[in-house]
Chains A and B, each alone.
Chain A
Amino acid sequence: ETGVTQSPTHLIKTRGQQVTLRCSSQSGHNTVSWYQQALGQGPQFIFQYYREEENGRGNFPPRFSGLQFPNYSSELNVNALELDDSALYLCASSYRTGTGTYEQYFGPGTRLTVT
């Protein structure tokens, strides 16, 4: 167990709806990254939050948005859901070590199905 938790575990939504996924980072970690993992694929970087500000974004449209809260937990919001948004959404928290390196620790993911 990494200490990174995500909710909900599974979710079924209809095309056009909006969804909010939640992530609690591991204690002491001030950075949260979100990834989308489609079936049979590796994770794709969506964006990262550091101290409540977006700190990098992958090739995802603006309908994917996020927030990070003062306690470093985070939300991923997806508007106007499309069928292709069906995937496992992973949250990873990380921190900067004394040697200046980073490791990302992953939560169990939220399985989103869009019908």
Chain B
Amino acid sequence: AQSVSQHNHHVILSEAASLELGCNYSYGGTVNLFWYVQYPGQHLQLLLKYFSGDPLVKGIKGFEAEFIKSKFSFNLRKPSVQWSDTAEYFCAVNRAGNNRKLIWGLGTSLAVNP
């Protein structure tokens, strides 16, 4: 069965620190990969996505993620976090060409101290 693993459940950083959140998935076929963010009191928003092509994808608000197929990973990065990045971050996967269920990780709670 497909699954998604997010390595860090809670991360605390100071402003301007660099961020990397790990995401690994288990599925042998071609996948679509997503990172969503949920700011306090707001709905889930798409940060970035990978369907095909360049494995380094850039999203909104300075976030980027790299798809490494050999490692089944899709880690999220940001060179310098801000207090406003405090949120819950979710990695999600579904089968390429399939609009059905997204399989989600448990999420990573990021707190950025000013």
Q: How many residues of A contact B (CB 8 A)?
A: 31
Determine chain B's interface SS by DSSP, over half rule. loop
Mark interface residues in A78-115 (1 if CB within 8 Å of B CB, else 0).
00000000000010101010011111111111000000
Determine chain A's interface SS by DSSP, over half rule. strand
Tell me whether B61 is interfacial, beta carbon within 8 Å.
no
Tell me whether B71 is interfacial, beta carbon within 8 Å.
no
The answer on a CB contact under 8 Å between A43 and B100 is no
Q: Which residues of B contact A4 (CB under 8 A)?
A: 43
Q: Measured between C-beta atoms, what is the minimum distance from A9 to chain B in Å?
A: 11
The answer on a CB contact under 8 Å between B32 and A43 is no
With both beta carbons as reference points, the residue of chain B lying nearest to A2 in the complex is identified as: B43
The answer on a CB contact under 8 Å between B106 and A101 is no
Tell me whether A44 is interfacial, beta carbon within 8 Å.
yes
Tell me whether A8 is interfacial, beta carbon within 8 Å.
no
With both beta carbons as reference points, the residue of chain A lying nearest to B9 in the complex is identified as: A40
The answer on a CB contact under 8 Å between A96 and B99 is yes
Q: Which residues of A contact B100 (CB under 8 A)?
A: 33, 45, 48, 55-56
